[in-house]
Every structure is written in C-alpha cells, then in structure tokens.
Chains A and B, each alone.
Chain A
Amino acid sequence: MLECIDFAFLADRVIPALNRGLDVSLRLIIPAALIGGALGVFTGVTRVFGPRWARRLADAAVAVIRGVPLTVQLMILYFGLPNVPYLRIDLEPFTAALAGFIFCTGAYQSEYVRGALLSIRQGQIRAGQALGMTKLQIITSIVVPQAVRRALPGCGNEVIYLIKYSSLAYIITCIELTGRAKTLISQTYRPTEVYLTAALYYLAMVTLATWLLNWLERKLAIPGFGKNNT
C-alpha cells in the first residue's frame, strides 16, 4: 500500500511547503485563542453582570457573530470593509483573518463563560457583599476564577474548533496550511499526498491542544470543586 506514497516528493516538496503554511496557521491560532479567550471572558461577564445597555450590546454582537457564517464574516472583513464610505478600513489578509477568528472565538467562548457564571451559587456573591466587597471585587476574585474553571472543558472544545476553522483563512488569500496545500496541488496535481499530510498536521495540532488543555484543567483543579457542588 505504501508504494503509492512517494516519500521523496513528501520530503522535498510537501513538508517544506506545509511547514511554511503551518507557521502562518500557528500565528493565527495562538493569538486568536488567547485574545479571543480573554475577549470571551470579558464579554461573558458583561452579558451577566454589566449594566443593561452593555448587556444588550454584547448580546447583540454575539447574536450577529454566531448567526453569520464565518466565511461570510471573513469576506466582509477583507472585501467589504474597504468599500464602506468614510471608514475605508483596508486590512491585510492576515489581519482580517486574525480579527475574524478573534471575534468568532470570543463570541462562542462568551457563551461558555456566561453559562459558567450563571452556575456560581448566588450565596457566595452575597457572602462577598456581606464582607464589604465591591461588585467588581466579587466578580474578579470570586465569580470569574470559579467560572473559568467550570467553562474550561467547553472553552477547550472551542479552541479545537478554532484550529480547524483557521483553514478558512485561505479564502481571503491569507495563505496558511490549507492555502499552502491548495497552492502545491495546483502546481503538482497530487492531492492525495498533500491533503493527507495536511490532515496529519491538523490532527497533530488538535492532539497537542488537547494535551495542553487537559494539563491546564489538572493544574487548575481544586479538590471537590465542580463535582456536584451543593
């Protein structure tokens, strides 16, 4: 079976090309996961504890981002924004893709965080108030540390989605892993080897991310926390 795979072709052409693509992919995924995660926590907190106008605004933003296909959002960011009168925001392909991923992942993360925030027992908030803590202190030192731990499995899932939907960046000419693969195929007409290798690259990234997330969950684990809290 292995005769059908040309190892020389893999080593000489596929791997160098895909490595360059991988570099761009990682430069999209890592900042998007970190900044998007922080944005998700902020948006989630706003949606639960913010003043009414901020809650409305954040809810609306999340509804739009979750309601429009990411492909269309990327198109708007890259092809649409330069044509908006007065604004004329002209983004580089990489910047447009990164912005699209940050908004998208932030919106979904805020949903996990929101759910976790709502699950924190009200009694602890009252206990914080009874000690004279301000609302902001209660949110930052009691509610968010617990909510982040509760939200972590869901947020990890979102990071794994992010790794895979980062492959949409090539449609706005940000040539990352999938983009490199397509370019190489159009030069060599050997889709099997190229796509299979690209698939293995994604699988490796997802596996690594899964390990990292499991490690983080273990590191942040607190005895008895999250298990049928009364």
Chain B
Amino acid sequence: MDFNDTPEEAAFRQRAQAFLAAHVQPKAGQTESLQKRLSDKEYMLAAKAYQKAKAENGFAGITWPKEQGGQGLAPIFSVIFGQEEGKFDAPAGPFTIGLGMCVPTVIAFATDAQKERHVGPALRGEEIWCQLFSEPSAGSDVAGLKTKAVRDGDDWVINGQKVWTSGAHYSDWGIVLVRTNADKAKHKGLSMFFIDMKSPGIEVRPIHQMSGGSNFNEVYFTDVRVPNSQMLGGEGNGWSVALVTLMNERLAVGGSPGPDYKEIFEWAKTMPGQDGGTLAEDQSFRQKVADWFVRAEGYKLAKFRTMTALSKGQTPGPESSIGKIITANQLQDITHNAMEAMDHFGIITDAAYAPSEGVFQQSHMWAAGLRIAGGTDEILKNIIAERILGLPGDVRVDKDVAFKDLPSGR
C-alpha cells in the first residue's frame, strides 16, 4: 500500500506540472480568479488559447485514440492531469462538456469524414460543443423528451425546447436528442443528431437562476433543419447513444465545488463563538468539523482507490459514483452552518460586510443547484441501488405504451 506514482505516471505528472507552470497561474482567491478579472469575451479567448496549448503539448484528448488526434493513454493519465490542473486557475471550463461528453459520442458514432472534420477543431479549442438533452418536462426522466424531428427529404426538421444547456450561447456545435417517432414506446422513438448551433431557427435564452446569475440556457428550436447524415447511431437508437454520452457525465462533473472543512475551520477562528471564545472553540461546532473532515477525506481517499484501479489497468469500482452526493450535500451543510453561526449577520450577502466576501452565502445558493445538476441525489441513489446493489428497477408504467399515449401532466 502506497500513494506513489509508477515511474511512467511520475514522468507524465512532471511533464504536466511543467506545462501548467508555463501556461497558467496557480489558484488564487475568489476575486482574483481569471473568470472574475476578465470580461466574458476575454475569458473565452484565454480559454481557447489554453486549449490550443494543451493540444500542441500533448495534453488534449489524453485517453482518445491516436488516430483521432488523442494521446492514446490510459485513463489514469487523464486523472493525473486533472489533479495537477486543479491546482491552477486554468480556463478549462468551456471545454469540459464538449470534450468530456459530446465529442466522445461523435467519435463513437460519426463517419470517418465527419470525425476528420470535427474532432481536431474541438481538440484544439477552435470549436466548442454543448449537450442538448434536458427539457422542461424531461429532467431526471430524459427519455420523456418532447422535442421532435420530422423527416423532410434529406433533412430532418426540429421543433421544441431544450433547457439547462451549459454554454449554448458560445457553442459552435451541439448534440441534440429528439423524438423521431411518437408512435413507439418512450425509449424507442428517440434519435441523436449533431447540429450547427448557428443554424437558422435556434434561439438561445439565458436562464435566470435562483442565485441571480445565469450559467445555463434554454434553447428553442423552430423549424431547424439538420441533414440526415448528421444522425448519430441510426434512427430510433437515440437512447443507447445518449447512454454513451451520459456515462461520461459523472466523470466530467465533480471536483471541489466550494468551501470545505478546511475553509470553514480556518474562518471559524475569526468568528465569535457561543461560549465567549471563538466559534472554532465551540464544542458543538467542533463535532461538526470532525464529521465534515471524515466525509471530505473519505471521498478524497475513495478517489485514490479509483485511481489505484485505473493505475492497474482495471475498471474503477462503483466507489466513483458516490462523489456528487457527498460533495453537494456537504457544501450545503457547511455553508448552512456558516450562515447560522453568524446569527443575524449571516443573512448579509453584500461583499463589503459579509465575511470571506460572501462566499458561504453564494455557495449555499449554488449547493441547492448542485444537488440537482448532472443527476439529482435521488437519481444517483437509484443508480447505486440498481447498478451496484442489484435491486430491481422501479415498476414501469411507460414501457409498452406508445409515447403519444402517455400521460404527461405539467
């Protein structure tokens, strides 16, 4: 038992560190981050330049096949690069979904000519991809989506609405899951396309989140034409194609979402406690710090177990699926406790007054969304129960019924 890299892994890590040190700055505080300092436009230029540098230096598409311009390396190297990149303020965000989920789907299902056209530009940061699955009436139950595509000559014509699309406003391409046959059962009438996001009839509107910000979009499709040749995986096979995309989601989402036990404990040393000392001296608070420590370390160590499996060339165990349940709930709990510990003062979000520039308040808002994004707590628990523990699926009332005959409610 040890935590050491193999010689090959150590050499790769060293190369990654050298590359990162030459191209991006180490992580600094909230306010000094690249995203806060730069305008949206400047940030996007910086992101594209960074992605280009990654491609030129052999750090893009680390696990992709060489013939697709990737590095053909084992998944452990991708994890190692992610570990090192996480120490820096690297503008990698705009590419996470495209390179993590969309382009791998294209690689799996597109023709050679299409791959030739699209994979390189995505890898070099010249084109950004987004993923269009969720709809207002199809969230956890994605296969209940209603956006439909109707065949018209060599094209399909798409009408409907997608929602919660990250980066739709700056994306060049997207993969979109649509219903091509409503007479078939729910999962069987779907097809996947990749589509030019600049196509006529696509309208992107930002969603006004409960946090006040806008990180996601609604995307409206009105008579949008897409060539039949851009269908991925064949007509009616959209659900199996989507599963390939979604398999990557749990790996693409994750990481440290906000203040953890370290941050709140440091901060508590400056806060008044109930017993005349600091908050960090209060017994009830300290008991919670211990719980937070155990969960944060436990999750970190579970990832080490995943890395161990990857490093040995094995498929990682199911322990990797617990991540978001832990991190999202922990973030909500920590920030909740921080706000309550401040008593009435905890309600202030004004950065001029709020301790740590209001990071606990902001993160408390964000945590509520994190428990939903990329698979709700409930869906993730269903996945653990069904795929890991082998419990039976829920009773399905929609299995052998034509989609058009299903009740849809609100």
Q: Do A and B bind each other?
A: no
